[in-house]
Structure 1
């Protein structure tokens, strides 16, 4: 018996339990429409000292991993702040940021004083109200309303609120340390100012220089980002400030250097699958169920915190409405987007709790606050944000879709088709040829032989022979269809780099690719060829799973999730394929089940007007279906179709945790051919869901 107990005390056992929890719990709870974060918190409660005792909060291994998770959470929060959106509307972002920081800060301070906390702890509680987490960002991005000024200003205000609340936290913790005079406060503020300048400008410069000199070496770039997190955190601790302040500033500092590169995906991936979930499990270990129930039974503190936050965020949004003359829908969107309290709020609460400034009742109340606001905020956004589309008329020049795909004499419509697998080559070439023939363009079958140290090695000779055979077959297929083909054999350092560079050199209008299976930990961590091409391509990429010849596809379904220009390329792609094939196109839009007949008719007319602008030659059938289950409605419509064309989106959260996407669920269950159309980074940042591609690969 003793040996068994000792076995369970081994650190490796705790780590194995954590991995099992992270792998299974979010999947299970999301089936019941419960957020994965809630499941991780609950798992911590069940497995912790108040449950099965499988995990102990005193464990050094768990404490270290949770500490890294806390720093990672704050770093990702800074990394995912959209600097460009802030710069576009910086003055109004600062204005709204000041309102949504100051008003909740005052409300939170009042709540603290009403419940007997001293001034220092009360101000700390106010700082918890001041920040917010952009959980609804993926939603507004998918709806195509990010360019609406109210949305842009709310996104930009995140920088001001998060930085401000963390600075207040740093000062409150410093004062709590004792023997804190005005001189020491001035020294702390001065040190903090110097430290912030060093991190924000020094790390930014260092990051740009390092990324410039390392080129495509993603491994070293990834290590640089990790080093930046921990150096900034240690620097913050040296000047007497909480480590999470340094981690957040490090995220802001390397934001521009990392940009929308593949390295960002790897950084967020490591945090989202390992360190951040461990932090939430560890947070669950701190929850004492009897105390939690007691704090709920004496509900006044919890009610005051939740109500105060919701009211104060609304008053801030209402002030912005009066200042900047926003309409009612924009007011509600700003309110709902700034309501959720997850990342910075939980991190700061935990720091205050560990410092002895906040009671267990406040910690439990903040967990309830997280659950309420993380549910209510996105729910309101989902109902209100679609109404912004009609007033969102701001289009960037390079995203205007009117002439996508049109070739000229000097630059004919060019489709690059990387060929590697003889089993899928035929259908890929057929699809590319159909599109190119419709546009009077050309196709470039592309084969990549990876470079070796010596050009005379048998390995590269065999690779070139294989590539030449694939290109010869590709040219034969294109000749059968009557399309000009210019096969290209390229020797390059890597397959992905070769595809991206050759496509740029050929001035490609489109890249058509199939997908393969991912294998191994390295492939999941550092990506595969498809990932890299999607990140680096200058033109749209069509990711295909073709079960039949494209020339036989007569019924094409295009689900449309909004009425803005974001879906235009998907419609135009379907138009080109339909015209080349004499096929019919059905545009499917899913509305809320409670939508009236008049609302459905209005939506259908708006879709028709949009299609007339995007694809004037297309005469599609437009279906507006009322349903509470979007996935089921699309799958039902797809039963009578040969091909479904989906627009692929990357899901973003401040916590770095993936959220289920309609595209993912649809692609998993479709039994017909599928095309996922990804946009180039320059016009539509972050447009591909890794989760979607992983799950599609298992279907291939």
Structure 2
């Protein structure tokens, strides 16, 4: 044993790690878990931390990992395929259709200008035409890294923003097509126009088969699978890797097939639990490993000591920024956007993460791009991933002060003001006897204020046999909960209607019962989520939010709702659809004779005139929902939104928050949400109002539900 220990001690660390595949995999998991959190606390994107980790762990740092390691190469290849699949899956086809002509127009501007400037840079450094054109094509695409920012600010429906979002489908396909042509050219060997046309013909046929055939097959499979999310998930994964294999068989890179699958199943998957799980698996494991591997490929000594490498990188960064600005300026001239919208387009189209990096790695592996170019594009990603969201957050805020159209009627409408509307119905799922009383009490206050009714709902989970003892026990427990709910509601002056339902699971049972009862609101309880399974596969709240047809109020009540006297409603999004939490708070306030304060936090450098404009804008929005007792409007200038709200919340009994989730970027790495931070730190009662999925305009909802569970 001593001799073995001595031999192991003499072996280099890298060799020991190379013999034990579990060890590097464990290190990768630690990096993926810890590093993005640390970098996000420094207000830097998590992907920057992952690439930096790769540099530190590779030959430029501790030399723990080799970029050609079989296990890392395998996981990185899966991450590369997954990255492009997610890029296609998250292309917002609805946004593209809304402004199809203008999206194609801006897409052609940014693609052509970027292609020209990138090609000129390549030729300036004496690269051949094939490599130079590929460099230009890498400039064309962009990643909507700042989408969570514009979504939070409520400017997603601004035409300039919609056009920028829609154009991604054009730029991504264009960049991948040029990559395919460039690689096909070198595979042909001696250039042959006939062979090139043949390759493009096969590519066209294969693309049509995927986009049309897989779209139909996906919809049919999802329709026949019903609620079986596991089979849907496996169908998507199988489609991705079979399509990637198919593209390789016809001589095209696998990332093109993965992207096409994302586009093909885009509508079939839709916005729901299946998409959330598909994206989640890639974003927490495979895609981060791809970015770590990217850092392993980066040669820091070569970059730091080579003047030519530094000059190339600097020119690529300047060329990219200038080309995106020229494209935004052309959009301004043609479509008559103002400077604020123009700069927002420029900032949104600046980050080069998903498609750009994937195509750069494939070009490097195919021998089209030298290592020095790959190094330059890695640095470009790091710079633009920081610069793009930073500029967007500074500029796009001012777009929220622009005049807005007449707001649509809020989802939560007082039935007393609409005689033609059916009775305001509140469905209260009862499951935990300890929290049931406050849920019933809250529902009674809201129902009495709106002259509505309450349906207390208990779900008994079904079994294969309807005479099974487990089902009988579940039914007995549900009946006891419903009887208790009826007594509690009667005490508060409004008797709840009991509803017992046998269903496969809690979440589908709640959503279906709410639909059958034509519910106007679902009131649920929540607590801190624990366990890996809850995070990986979601919980009842997640599933209800995905499936429900009406708003869902998720509550954490630390005291009786009748004791609530002061209610705070923080609003980040100063648009009419964001006012549903205000209306819910006002209904509760009228029942309790309480006071509501609507709070908006702006940057501490905001001028007094802009603060006054925000206050006026918010007052106008609130006045249009016709509240009998308008809430107080408060604007706070502070450098930290979360800390400002937490300080203000100390004086309030209840905080009402919008229940939203951030849209994951093409890289799949979620950006932290203000709501989730508040939910972890607030000590008073909380109500989160989640809007039905159909009102989210195609955005992915991630946020506080990642830290909650039904109690």
Instruction: Give the TM-score, by structure 1 length.
Output: 0.96
Flag the 1:647–1:691 CA change in 2: closer, same or farther, 3 A.
closer
What corresponds to 1:669 in structure 2?
Answer: 681
CA offset at residue 402 of structure 1?
Answer: 7.5
Q: Supply the distance in 2 between the matched residues of 1:415 and 1:445 (Cα, whole angstroms).
A: 8
Are 1:678 and 1:687, in contact at CA under 8 Å, matched by a contact in 2?
no
Are 1:534 and 1:688, in contact at CA under 8 Å, matched by a contact in 2?
no
Q: Supply the distance in 1 between the matched residues of 2:699 and 2:87 (Cα, whole angstroms).
A: 19
Q: Supply the distance in 2 between the matched residues of 1:21 and 1:379 (Cα, whole angstroms).
A: 25
SS in 2 for 1:676: strand
- What's the CA shift string for 1:77-117, capped at 9, x where partnerless? 11111111111111111111111111101110000000110
The range that moved more, 475-484 or 344-353, is: 475-484
What corresponds to 2:259 in structure 1?
Answer: 248
Flag the 1:257–1:49 CA change in 2: closer, same or farther, 3 A.
same
SS in 2 for 1:665: helix
Flag the 1:611–1:296 CA change in 2: closer, same or farther, 3 A.
farther
What corresponds to 1:401 in structure 2?
Answer: 410
What corresponds to 1:629 in structure 2?
Answer: 640
Q: Supply the distance in 2 between the matched residues of 1:538 and 1:453 (Cα, whole angstroms).
A: 29
Q: Supply the distance in 2 between the matched residues of 1:295 and 1:433 (Cα, whole angstroms).
A: 72
Within 5 Å, give how 1:607-646 maps onto structure 2.
607-646=618-657
Q: Supply the distance in 2 between the matched residues of 1:411 and 1:99 (Cα, whole angstroms).
A: 50
Q: Supply the distance in 1 between the matched residues of 2:476 and 2:528 (Cα, whole angstroms).
A: 24
CA offset at residue 385 of structure 1?
Answer: 2.0
What corresponds to 1:204 in structure 2?
Answer: 215
Within 5 Å, give how 1:155-166 maps onto structure 2.
155-166=165-176
Q: Supply the distance in 2 between the matched residues of 1:410 and 1:108 (Cα, whole angstroms).
A: 59
CA offset at residue 635 of structure 1?
Answer: 0.5
- What's the CA shift string for 1:155-174, capped at 9, x where partnerless? 11000000000000011111
Q: Supply the distance in 1 between the matched residues of 2:237 and 2:598 (Cα, whole angstroms).
A: 45
CA offset at residue 696 of structure 1?
Answer: 4.5
What corresponds to 1:659 in structure 2?
Answer: 671
Q: Supply the distance in 2 between the matched residues of 1:694 and 1:503 (Cα, whole angstroms).
A: 23
Q: Supply the distance in 1 between the matched residues of 2:373 and 2:487 (Cα, whole angstroms).
A: 71
What corresponds to 2:47 in structure 1?
Answer: 37
- What's the CA shift string for 1:345-393, capped at 9, x where partnerless? 1111111111222122211211221122112212222222233334464
Q: Given the alignment, which residue of 90, 114, 120 partners 2:124?
A: 114
SS in 1 for 2:290: helix
Are 1:45 and 1:284, in contact at CA under 8 Å, matched by a contact in 2?
yes
Flag the 1:663–1:520 CA change in 2: closer, same or farther, 3 A.
closer
Q: Given the alignment, which residue of 108, 112, 119 partners 1:98?
A: 108
Are 1:41 and 1:284, in contact at CA under 8 Å, matched by a contact in 2?
yes
- For structure 1, the 5+ residue unaligned runs are none
Are 1:200 and 1:249, in contact at CA under 8 Å, matched by a contact in 2?
yes
Pairing 1:694–2:703 present: no
Are 2:535 and 2:706, in contact at CA under 8 Å, matched by a contact in 1?
no
Q: Supply the distance in 2 between the matched residues of 1:279 and 1:402 (Cα, whole angstroms).
A: 42
Q: Supply the distance in 1 between the matched residues of 2:242 and 2:402 (Cα, whole angstroms).
A: 45
Flag the 1:63–1:473 CA change in 2: closer, same or farther, 3 A.
same
SS in 2 for 1:252: helix
CA offset at residue 30 of structure 1?
Answer: 2.0
The range that moved more, 557-566 or 383-392, is: 383-392
Q: Given the alignment, which residue of 77, 82, 103 partners 1:72?
A: 82
Are 1:147 and 1:395, in contact at CA under 8 Å, matched by a contact in 2?
no
Q: Supply the distance in 2 between the matched residues of 1:379 and 1:28 (Cα, whole angstroms).
A: 18
Flag the 1:437–1:688 CA change in 2: closer, same or farther, 3 A.
farther
What corresponds to 2:3 in structure 1?
Answer: none
CA offset at residue 618 of structure 1?
Answer: 3.3
SS in 2 for 1:299: helix
The range that moved more, 4-13 or 255-264, is: 4-13
Are 2:462 and 2:505, in contact at CA under 8 Å, matched by a contact in 1?
yes
Q: Supply the distance in 2 between the matched residues of 1:638 and 1:42 (Cα, whole angstroms).
A: 38
Flag the 1:687–1:405 CA change in 2: closer, same or farther, 3 A.
farther
Q: Supply the distance in 1 between the matched residues of 2:708 and 2:233 (Cα, whole angstroms).
A: 27
- What's the CA shift string for 1:130-167, capped at 9, x where partnerless? 00101111111111211111111111100000000000
Flag the 1:297–1:185 CA change in 2: closer, same or farther, 3 A.
closer
CA offset at residue 693 of structure 1?
Answer: 2.6
Are 1:145 and 1:392, in contact at CA under 8 Å, matched by a contact in 2?
no
Pairing 1:388–2:409 present: no
What corresponds to 1:417 in structure 2?
Answer: 428
SS in 1 for 2:624: helix
Are 1:414 and 1:436, in contact at CA under 8 Å, matched by a contact in 2?
yes
Instruction: Give the TM-score, by structure 2 length.
Output: 0.95
Q: Given the alignment, which residue of 669, 690, 694 partners 1:682?
A: 694
Q: Given the alignment, which residue of 358, 377, 386 partners 1:375?
A: 386
Are 2:44 and 2:386, in contact at CA under 8 Å, matched by a contact in 1?
no
What corresponds to 2:147 in structure 1?
Answer: 137
CA offset at residue 3 of structure 1?
Answer: 4.3
Are 1:296 and 1:302, in contact at CA under 8 Å, matched by a contact in 2?
no
Q: Supply the distance in 2 between the matched residues of 1:596 and 1:390 (Cα, whole angstroms).
A: 13
The range that moved more, 359-368 or 401-410, is: 401-410
What corresponds to 2:313 in structure 1?
Answer: 302
Flag the 1:63–1:90 CA change in 2: closer, same or farther, 3 A.
same
What corresponds to 1:25 in structure 2?
Answer: 35
Q: Supply the distance in 2 between the matched residues of 1:381 and 1:70 (Cα, whole angstroms).
A: 27
Q: Supply the distance in 2 between the matched residues of 1:686 and 1:17 (Cα, whole angstroms).
A: 36
Pairing 1:317–2:328 present: yes
Q: Supply the distance in 1 between the matched residues of 2:344 and 2:403 (Cα, whole angstroms).
A: 13
CA offset at residue 662 of structure 1?
Answer: 1.2
Flag the 1:663–1:688 CA change in 2: closer, same or farther, 3 A.
farther
Flag the 1:410–1:182 CA change in 2: closer, same or farther, 3 A.
closer
The range that moved more, 678-687 or 205-214, is: 678-687
Are 1:27 and 1:36, in contact at CA under 8 Å, matched by a contact in 2?
yes
Pairing 1:15–2:30 present: no
Are 2:425 and 2:454, in contact at CA under 8 Å, matched by a contact in 1?
yes
CA offset at residue 32 of structure 1?
Answer: 1.9
Q: Supply the distance in 2 between the matched residues of 1:305 and 1:18 (Cα, whole angstroms).
A: 31
The range that moved more, 375-384 or 294-303, is: 294-303
- What's the CA shift string for 1:18-43, capped at 9, x where partnerless? 11111111112222222211111111
SS in 1 for 2:689: strand
Within 5 Å, give how 1:297-696 maps onto structure 2.
298-391=309-402, 393=404, 400-401=409-410, 404-406=413-415, 408=419, 411-516=422-527, 518=529, 520-652=531-663, 653-685=665-697, 690-696=702-708
Q: Supply the distance in 2 between the matched residues of 1:291 and 1:656 (Cα, whole angstroms).
A: 30
CA offset at residue 54 of structure 1?
Answer: 2.6
Cα RMSD for the two superposed structures: 1.9
What corresponds to 1:62 in structure 2?
Answer: 72
Pairing 1:187–2:232 present: no
